[in-house]
Amino acid sequence: MNTTPAYQDLAARQQRQHRLAHLQSIAQWDQAANMPAKGNEARSLALAEMDGLLHQLATDPALQGLLDAAAAEPLDDTQRSNLREIRRAWRAANALPQALVEAKSLANNRCEHAWRTQRPANDWAGFAPNLREVLKIARQEAELLSQSAGLSKYDALLDMYEPGMRGADVERAFAPLRQWLPGLIRDVIAKQSTEAVIEPVGPFPAAAQKALGLDAMKLMGFDFAAGRLDESTHPFCGGVPEDVRMTTRYREDNFLPSLMGTIHETGHGRYEQGLPRELLGQPIARARSMGIHESQSLSFEMQLGSHPAFAGLLSPLLIKHFGDQPAFEPGNLHKLLTRVQPGYIRVDADEVTYPAHILLRFDIERALIEGEAQVDDIPALWDAKMAELLGLDTRGNFKDGPMQDVHWAAGLFGYFPCYTLGAMYAAQWFATMRVQQPDLDARIARGELGGVFDWLSSHVWQAASRYETPELVQRASGEALNPAHFEAHLRGRYLGA
Amino acid sequence: MNTTPAYQDLAARQQRQHRLAHLQSIAQWDQAANMPAKGNEARSLALAEMDGLLHQLATDPALQGLLDAAAAEPLDDTQRSNLREIRRAWRAANALPQALVEAKSLANNRCEHAWRTQRPANDWAGFAPNLREVLKIARQEAELLSQSAGLSKYDALLDMYEPGMRGADVERAFAPLRQWLPGLIRDVIAKQSTEAVIEPVGPFPAAAQKALGLDAMKLMGFDFAAGRLDESTHPFCGGVPEDVRMTTRYREDNFLPSLMGTIHETGHGRYEQGLPRELLGQPIARARSMGIHESQSLSFEMQLGSHPAFAGLLSPLLIKHFGDQPAFEPGNLHKLLTRVQPGYIRVDADEVTYPAHILLRFDIERALIEGEAQVDDIPALWDAKMAELLGLDTRGNFKDGPMQDVHWAAGLFGYFPCYTLGAMYAAQWFATMRVQQPDLDARIARGELGGVFDWLSSHVWQAASRYETPELVQRASGEALNPAHFEAHLRGRYLGA
């Protein structure tokens, strides 16, 4: 006798949504990696149709009764956690009417597609009207979500990416950062100004960079039978856990952005590949949050990839693909990988100045969503904060300013803080690992990365969404989110203190 | 006031199915062109989920009432044609009970999967029981379709690929072929045995072949803003009309199969790209039939691609990508492209012997479906017809005999005649063009292919499914299907008569 019929019904519906979302996900990856220009309108309509269908399945009126009935069934812990996640997704989906879901998908696709040509043309005037439409819909969405969840408008959006985290929590973690970051940047720059660094001499052909990236992914344990690497304008990690689609882009004058970007996306990719396969299709098997996701990419790119000993692992790969040159000596390579230099572009930023880019975006997007700023205010706000935080003049340079990221064009307000939350979580994971594995740094120097991957797998990948974020963090590290680990990491690595 | 509410409802449902099928189509292309091995299970489940959903939409019980109501509404000619096509698709989807759809999918998948290893092992005894099951279900399907459409069993299957065409029509077109083809093959072989041909000297690197293929597609007018070329094990033309996805494969010892295969698929691709964009999403805007589709690929590959003057256009491209060599001289290249040699394998056959492979398959599959032959009869029938038509002994060679094609293993009975119908239509199109454009061959020699493409666009691509095939053929060429054009084409090209 089946004693959990309502739960089984819910689980079968989740499985069905997962399968349809698979097609959606591959078509989205294809849109960025392969699709020719004239395919965009039909693709956008097809994706919007599927968005609508998935929304319809997620808001089926039968769900409320099933959720209530399942709560009274004799579920085990796994089923209970899964039911919690099913309910969370159901609540979020039901906050938005179908028409808004469809209008959002259309406006975001249109804005993002146009952005691909507007950005290189520095065409803020062309971009702004599309962004206004995206923001208008995002504000409506925030308003409805905030009513349904009893949160402020920005918190309601943030909650979609970092469940349980509020703007005030972010501000609590970011407040000390605002205090010590400008001083740290100054100190690191002063220290590094006395150090000689040998520049790599290019060009570095894209084909050799691709081969290098594939070797780096192999070093980081990526499973090529369950994923691949391609090119797109804005690198991302998409696809499905069974078939992870990573992208990168190549600049022939400098191989480092693509190499370190690829290592970054490999962290996302291994998280997805490492989710519990036997539960795939159920919400409990999904990645916990964007901040936790970013803690994996930054564990790969920063904690490991920019580790002093990691340069010794990379150096032979560079020589293999580009031939030998003095810049590839491990000590010099480490200096290249940890050079701190305020710049315009977030995705090119070093580990130390990166949080400044996030503080700036967090402040602006929070004001945009709360209605305290408008699209036309963005350039002036941007210029002021770049001058204040990084001492840079960005006036008139929209393409390297507020047009540099895809996030707002794609309607992703509330996402940016996750990057720096992820950096903080990653520092906390490695602080914990060093306590549990005292020879960790020596092992990394010997290229034995298995201990790191095993720790991440058992504490983060396999846990997936079984626990809410605070419980996951507590179980993994024995304490709540503690931004002091991030400060200690940066001071230790960059000032030797 | 909306005077066509039922029609509008039907059209909106078609649009929705078209959009969902877009994602299905891109995911299928991706499965063949990109997907790593471990993605296959999840992808197959996702595609099957979508198959089920599309079948559910196509068999919605509300459709019958809507179709009847729409027939009484004041529709214009376009809407009336579209309604005819909607009804045709509805009848086909509803002829089969769900249990048979599932049994068919299971039997076909099992047979096709086993065939992949049984064929190289020449294992007819292992293959036959699976094929018996596939045939049993195909006969049930034919029986149900024939009752629903008032056709004979074979005609009911043929109608799915070549609507409006009956087995008797095919036989009327094939009867003269049976008379003159064996003699023509003999005469051409005798003529060619006196001619010297210089073989190309390889290897031909895949990257150079790909660049050549892209140049050939450009020459043939493919719109790269609405499609692309990739690689897959079995070449095909997929994607959607707005974004056509062609594939090919490369053999480094011989560039001709990939080059001519690419030109062939470009014909399919331009047909799709040339369908009436303002109607896309409605059945009236779909390609007319498999035979008409093949008439486009063969117009490109055979009528144009193997035209004596076309070698003069290809020769500079070969020299550009592979360097010069004596085999690339236009006269010699034309000889290479028109060499006739009876062989076992249909897909490797030349333009002259190809119809023999189709006559043989048409006769056998028609007898199988009508119940006049059984699976165990196939080898003897095959051997007899191969000896009679091509003078080849195939006894005991099942893998290069009745096991060479995927069609029957996959349950596709009724498809084969479309290949030769396509060759006949293509010859008829060019005969018509030559009357209307007396300098056609001189223009082709000058590389001015626009006149050909414009004719195909206005008579075939833009017509899409507005007319049933006989009317389309009549409007395009001023007469019904006339196989004499195909005979005249082959005699003219291969015997100079």
Give per-10-residue mean pLDDT for chain B (497 aa): 92 97 96 94 93 93 98 97 96 87 87 92 97 96 89 94 92 96 96 96 97 98 98 93 97 96 98 97 97 98 97 98 98 97 94 98 97 97 96 96 94 96 98 97 96 98 95 96 97 91
Considering only CB atoms, B228 lies closest to which of A36, A228, A240, namely: A36
Model pLDDT, residue B410: 92
A109 and A220 part of one domain: no
- How far is residue A179's CA from residue A60's CA, in Å, rounded to a whole number? 48
Is pLDDT at A150 greater than 90 in this prediction? no
Q: How many CB atoms lie within 10 A of CB B421?
A: 28
Angle at A488 between CA A340 and CA A255, to 5 degrees: 30
Is pLDDT at A270 greater than 90 in this prediction? yes
Tokens of A428: 């906390």
Q: Is residue B367 within 8 Å of B382, Cβ to Cβ?
A: no
> Is B265 one of the annotated active-site residues of the chain?
yes
Q: Is B145 helix (H, G, I), strand (E, B) or coil?
A: helix
Candidates A13, A26, A278: best to mutate against B (most CBs of B within 10 A) is: A26
Contact B23 A27 (CB under 8 A): yes
Contact B42 A242 (CB under 8 A): yes
Closest Cα in chain B to A243? B39
A36 and A82 part of one domain: yes
A19 and A122 part of one domain: yes
Model pLDDT, residue A164: 83
- How far is residue B236's CA from residue B265's CA, in Å, rounded to a whole number? 7
- When pLDDT is averaged across residues A216-226 and rounded to a whole number, the result is 98
- How far is residue B352's CA from residue B309's CA, in Å, rounded to a whole number? 19
Candidates B29, B30, B224: best to mutate against A (most CBs of A within 10 A) is: B30
Contact B22 A46 (CB under 8 A): yes
Q: Is residue A158 within 8 Å of A289, Cβ to Cβ?
A: no
Contact B225 A45 (CB under 8 A): no
- How far is residue A113's CA from residue A315's CA, in Å, rounded to a whole number? 38
ipTM: 0.92
* Burial track B458-478 (b if 16+ CB lie within 10 A, e otherwise): ebbbebbbbbbbeebbeebbe
Which DSSP state fits B400? T
Q: If interface means Cβ-Cβ distance under 8 Å, which residues of chain B face chain A? A: 16, 19-20, 22-24, 26-27, 30, 34-39, 41-43, 45-47, 49-50, 53, 223-228, 240, 242-243, 280
- How far is residue A237's CA from residue A287's CA, in Å, rounded to a whole number? 13
Candidates A14, A51, A243, A273: best to mutate against B (most CBs of B within 10 A) is: A243
B297 and B394 part of one domain: yes
- Decide which of A119, A147, A175 is a domain's last residue: A147
Q: Is residue B400 within 8 Å of B121, Cβ to Cβ?
A: no
Contact B242 A46 (CB under 8 A): no
| Catalytic-role residue among B265, B301, B351, B487 | B265
Angle at A359 between CA A160 and CA A290, to 5 degrees: 30
Q: Is A496 helix (H, G, I), strand (E, B) or coil?
A: coil
Closest Cα in chain A to B12? A49
B339 and B406 part of one domain: yes
How many whole angstroms from its chain centre is CA A231? Answer: 18
Closest Cα in chain B to A54? B20
Q: What is the pTM of this model?
A: 0.91
- How far is residue B395's CA from residue A242's CA, in Å, rounded to a whole number? 45
Q: How many CB atoms lie within 10 A of CB A479?
A: 12
Q: Shortest CA distance to A276 belongs to which of A124, A81, A6?
A: A81
CA distance B121 to chain A (A): 27
A180 and A323 part of one domain: yes
Contact B36 A280 (CB under 8 A): no
Candidates A14, A15, A19: best to mutate against B (most CBs of B within 10 A) is: A19
Model pLDDT, residue A102: 83
- Is residue A482 exposed (0-12), middle (13-18) or buried (19+ Cβ within 10 Å)? middle
Q: Shortest CA distance to B467 belongs to which of B287, B302, B321?
A: B287
Closest Cα in chain B to A22? B46
Is residue B115 in a domain?
no
Model pLDDT, residue A497: 65
Q: Where are the beta strands (DSSP E) in A362-484?
A: none
B365 and B478 part of one domain: yes
Q: What share of chain B is helix, strand, coil (3-state, %, to 5)?
A: 70, 5, 30
- Is residue A343 exposed (0-12), middle (13-18) or buried (19+ Cβ within 10 Å)? middle
Angle at B15 between CA B13 and CA B18, to 5 degrees: 110
- Structure confidence by residue, pLDDT tens digits, A97-134: 888 988 998 899 899 989 999 999 999 999 999 999 99
Closest Cα in chain B to A28? B23
Contact B225 A38 (CB under 8 A): yes
Closest Cα in chain B to A226? B38
- Is residue B124 exposed (0-12), middle (13-18) or buried (19+ Cβ within 10 Å)? buried
Model pLDDT, residue A148: 79
Closest Cα in chain B to A34? B228
A71 and A163 part of one domain: no
- B chain contacts of residue A226, beta-carbon cutoff 8 Å: 36, 38-39
Domain with A31, as residue range(s), is 5-147
* Burial track B142-179 (b if 16+ CB lie within 10 A, e otherwise): bebbbeeeebbbbbbbbbbbbbbbbbebbeebbeebee
Contact A225 B36 (CB under 8 A): yes
Model pLDDT, residue A1: 65
Is pLDDT at A66 greater than 90 in this prediction? yes
DSSP B411-442: T-TT-THHHHHHHHHHHHHHHHHHHH-TTHHH
Q: Is residue A409 within 8 Å of A134, Cβ to Cβ?
A: yes
- Decide which of B79, B94, B109 is a domain's last residue: B94
* Residue A96 confidence class, pLDDT cut points 50, 70, 90: confident
Considering only CB atoms, B240 lies closest to which of A34, A42, A280, namely: A42
A174 and A56 part of one domain: no
Model pLDDT, residue A149: 80
Contact A39 B243 (CB under 8 A): yes
Considering only CB atoms, B23 lies closest to which of A34, A39, A50, namely: A50
Sheet holding B227-231, edge to edge: B227-231, B243-248, B237-240
- A chain contacts of residue B26, beta-carbon cutoff 8 Å: 23, 26-27, 30, 43
Model pLDDT, residue B497: 66
Is residue B146 in a domain?
no
CA distance A280 to chain B (A): 10
Q: Is B228 helix (H, G, I), strand (E, B) or coil?
A: strand
B334 and B440 part of one domain: yes
Q: Is A231 helix (H, G, I), strand (E, B) or coil?
A: strand
Contact B26 A27 (CB under 8 A): yes
Q: Is residue B196 within 8 Å of B204, Cβ to Cβ?
A: no
- Decide which of A126, A147, A168 is a domain's last residue: A147
Q: How far is CA A381 from CA A339, A355, B46, in A?
A: 27, 17, 45
CA distance B55 to chain A (A): 15
A129 and A189 part of one domain: no
* Residue A374 confidence class, pLDDT cut points 50, 70, 90: very high
Question: In this structure, what is the dihedral angle of CA atoms A330, A333, A338, A343, given to the nearest 10 degrees?
Answer: 180
Q: Assign residue A227 the CATH number of its domain.
A: 1.10.1370.30
- How many structural domains are present in chain A? 2
- When pLDDT is averaged across residues A386-392 and rounded to a whole number, the result is 92
CA distance A414 to chain B (A): 29
A90 and A239 part of one domain: no
Contact A37 B225 (CB under 8 A): yes
- How far is residue B137's CA from residue B100's CA, in Å, rounded to a whole number? 8
